[in-house]
Amino acid sequence: MSDLRDFLKEIEDDVVRIREPLSTRYEVAAALHRWDGSKVVAVDRVKETGTRLVGNVCGTRRNILKALKVEPEKLYPRLIEATKNPVKCGGGDGPVKEVVEKGSLKDIPVLTHFKGDPGPYITSGIVYVRSHDGSMENVSFHRLLVLDERRMAIRIVPRHLYRLTQMAKKEGVTSLDVSVSIGLHPTVMLAGAMTAPFGVSEYDVVNNLLGGKLKLTECEHVEALAPADAELVLEGRLMLDKQVTEGPFVDLSGTFDVQRQQPIIELVGIMHREDYIYQAILPAGSEHKLMMGMPQEPRIWEYVRGVVPNVRGVNLTTGGMGWLHCVVSFEKVRDGDPKNVLMAIFAAHPSLKHAVVVDSDIDPYEMEQVEWAIATRFRGDEDLLVVPNVRVSSLDPASDQEHELGCKVGVDATRPLYKDPEKFRKAEIHVSDELRKILDKY
Ligand SMILES: Cc1cc2nc3c(=O)[nH]c(=O)nc-3n(C[C@H](O)[C@H](O)[C@H](O)COP(=O)(O)O)c2cc1C
């Protein structure tokens, strides 16, 4: 099974290595921001702790596809197949147990990213939990605000982990054991961002993607599992009867999210490799947006395929924060197809605000091409779908964030079939083999 270190070797040419020590306060965040969406950043030494750090690992689609070892056109069917067929992970110890200690959060290089942050935030932590009766599991990303040496505030959006906490509370249980894993191979990271059926561990979904090679180890201080190849694991107790103020955190939109009362995790112990690499995800950076959006794309793809047979690609764009904007490229058969496709997209991803559909000659991941399609194939009076007063994302500052109510707009940027296709064809420059050889030399 390959780990974060193996992957970093694989993408060596895409890594910017910084040899000067950088501080956890703004300096590392500034470096991650400098190469956001382009390069992985490796810092040899963090000033405050002397530890190594890496960030932006999944900051490009290219890196994620490389890690998964799948061709782009096979990605969605592969992720859907894995979600439907989780494979139980094997057990056993691994390098994460090189050091097992009581530990302290002050010894970990947790970053303060933005002016106005309430404190240092762990942003790459994947939380594993078992239900109070041990019958169910869940794995998901959660940001953690470090409060002091032993306590963190955890943001829990009402999804599967929230449901497990509600079930436990109902039975009078006051805490759940958790592991928070940091420093993982990108494929394992996906476990934190994918959604398996309620109760199923996303580590088992990822284990399918890894051909059954993902090994989980029992934590030393709590009743929880964690990847044996992780760099660092925080072992904690999620307290169900204590809440603190969490935030304001800079979320996907790049704006400050509101403050909320959220539960606490108390640190019980730490396991880590001797020379562990701390992994960071820049809030509102490309990696944050891609890891949020990409795991939703297979569902949109599946819904759209229920309406039209040939779908070239789905892009929850990073400009739309990986969450609010979607482009779908498909082969149009009838003039009525695009609006049905738009409705399928909105049904598949209820947080979405704007969707654009384009013909299959347009690459949905090339926004210059998408804008060209809007410029040349869209008419506002005929090709617009407006859905007022509908559920949207709580992350959109232009909407009613409290009630998650807003407006969805669909743009049909496909060419009308009743018009001569030649009018919409992009002119090409002929390039002979001989000329190509000459040009390729430069
Ligand atoms: C980098 C990153 C950070 C995230 N932070 C949070 C968070 O703080 N709280 C939260 O509830 N979800 C967060 N999410 C989203 C969930 O982890 C994600 O939707 C996950 O699939 C939910 O798991 P579930 O379907 O098992 O509930 C984050 C996702 C990513 C990629």
Give residue 245's pLDDT band: very low, low, confident or very high (50, 70, 90).
very high
How much is the average pLDDT of 362-381?
Answer: 97
Residue-wise pLDDT for 201-222, tens only, equals 999 999 999 999 999 999 999 9
Closest ligand 1 atom, CA of 288?
A: 1
- The confidence score (pLDDT) of residue 1 equals 67
In the chain, the percentage of residues whose pLDDT exceeds 70 is 100
Give residue 264's pLDDT band: very low, low, confident or very high (50, 70, 90).
very high
How much is the average pLDDT of 122-142?
Answer: 98
Residue with CA nearest ligand 1 atom 6: 142
How much distance in Å is there from the Cα of 222 to the middle of ligand 1?
Answer: 22
Annotated catalytic residues are 251
Residue with CA nearest ligand 1 atom 9: 142
**DSSP collapsed to 3 states, the chain:** CCCHHHHHHHCHHHEEEECCCECCECHHHHHHHHCCCCCEEEECCECCCCCEEEECCCCCHHHHHHHHCCCHHHHHHHHHHHHHCCCCCEECCCHHHCEEECCCHHHCCCEECCCCCCCCEECCCEEEEECCCCCCEEEEECCEEECCCCEEEECCCCCHHHHHHHHHHHCCCCEEEEEEEECCCHHHHHHHCCCCCCCCCHHHHHHHHCCCCCEEEECCCCCCEEECCCCEEEEEEEEEEEEEEECCCECCCCCECCCEEEEEEEEEEEEECCCCEEEECCCCCHHHHHHHHHHHHHHHHHHHHCCCCCEEEEEECCCCCCCCEEEEEECCCCCCHHHHHHHHHHHHCCCCCEEEEEECCCCCCCHHHHHHHHHHHCCCCCCEEEEEEEECCCCCCCCECCCCEEEEEEEEECCCCCCCHHHHCCCCCCCCHHHHHHHHCC
Closest ligand 1 atom, CA of 195?
A: 25
Q: Which pTM does this prediction carry?
A: 0.95
Please say if the pLDDT value at position 403 is more than 80: yes
- The confidence score (pLDDT) of residue 394 equals 87
- The confidence score (pLDDT) of residue 402 equals 86
How much is the average pLDDT of 104-116?
Answer: 98
Residues with CB under 6 A from ligand 1: 138, 140-143, 155-157, 159-161, 192-195, 281, 288, 291-292
- Average pLDDT taken over every residue of the chain: 97
How much is the average pLDDT of 286-310?
Answer: 97
How much distance in Å is there from the Cα of 140 to the middle of ligand 1?
Answer: 5
Please say if the pLDDT value at position 34 is more than 80: yes
- The confidence score (pLDDT) of residue 124 equals 98
Closest ligand 1 atom, CA of 144?
A: 8
Residue-wise pLDDT for 384-398, tens only, equals 999 999 999 988 989
